[in-house]
Amino acid sequence: MNDPGDVVEGFLWIAAQEYPELDVDRQLARVRLIAAEGARRVYTLANPFARLDGLRSYLYEELGFRGNADDYNDPRNCYLNDVLDRRLGIPLTLAVLLVETARAAGFEARGLGLPGHFAVRLDWRGRSMLVDPYHGGQVITEDDCRQLVSRTTGRPSLFRRELLEGADARAMMARLLLNLKHVHVEREDYRRALGAVELLLLVSPNDAGEIRDRGFLKAYLGEPGDAIADLETYLTRSPSAPDADSVRGRVSWLRRRLTELN
């Protein structure tokens, strides 16, 4: 899954877990139509900044895509069909639309998975531009990226220059699912959070932390036997993890709970 179109389709299949009747092909065609129209409008522009300005004008001014600052943690910001309908999103979902449209317009485009934010890199005939898809597609600098990381995470040391090389499709899928997981946990919607973790484990099947979190979610949902199995798998794989003693305590509590139920 290296082509940007694969990322769009992957995001739509994630949305289809929430909307089982979703016509993924139709939604994919909507994205491609937007990308093709954006490319048509800037076809004659040779200057990369002018070409980007044309795409920004189309996506953010005419179509009205924007970051949902009023309700950032609304899960609909993560579902690409909702983003298309409502014109509201988070940096990651807006980045996917910008990348797809910029690719259609001739740019080499990739998403940048900065800690706490998501940006886009566009390359055109040896010129590179960093773009913030959440704030109207404005051009930003490497120092801006560093400050974004500092502001959103409180840990400026998390910024590394290699992050500006781009995130692959698998990393973008995992990032979207992590966003959904955190949003649903915050809302105490543990069934949907579990669904996000199950998908995460398809993307990264050996992620011990997600196996642990699946165990915790199953415990919340009243499935102690399955929860114990996951938490014990986590302890086997990460016996010296900082939270290992806490997880062992949880396993002991679940075993007592399971005995009471039986």
- Mark whether 14 and 104 lie in a shared domain: yes
Residue 193 included in any domain: no
Q: pLDDT tens digits for 218-235?
A: 999 999 999 999 999 999
DSSP tag of 165: G
* End position of a domain, from candidates 115, 150, 165: 165
d(CA 65, CA 41): 17
Domain hosting 222: range is: 206-262
Mean pLDDT of 207-212: 96
Residue 129 backbone phi and psi in degrees, to 5: -135, 140
* End position of a domain, from candidates 165, 190, 216: 165
Q: 119, 109 in Cβ contact below 8 A? A: no
Mean pLDDT of 242-247: 96
The pLDDT value given to residue 2: 45
Q: Is pLDDT above 80 for 1?
A: no
Q: pLDDT tens digits for 154-183?
A: 999 999 999 999 999 999 999 999 999 999
d(CA 7, CA 147): 27
Q: pLDDT tens digits for 99-136?
A: 999 999 999 999 999 999 999 999 998 899 999 999 99
Residue 171 included in any domain: no
Residue 52 banded pLDDT, cuts 50, 70, 90: very high
The pLDDT value given to residue 5: 58
d(CA 257, CA 93): 41
Side chain identity at residue 221, one-letter code: L
Nearest residue to 224 via CA among 251, 245, 249, 244: 251
- Mark whether 24 and 149 lie in a shared domain: yes
Residue 228 included in any domain: yes
- Mark whether 109 and 212 lie in a shared domain: no
**Can you give the CATH number for the domain in which 109 is found?**
3.10.620
Percentage of residues in the chain having pLDDT higher than 70: 98
Global confidence as pTM: 0.92
Q: pLDDT tens digits for 130-156?
A: 999 999 999 999 999 999 999 999 999
Residue 64 included in any domain: yes
Residue 201 included in any domain: no
Domain count, the chain: 2
Residue 3 banded pLDDT, cuts 50, 70, 90: low
Residue 31 banded pLDDT, cuts 50, 70, 90: very high
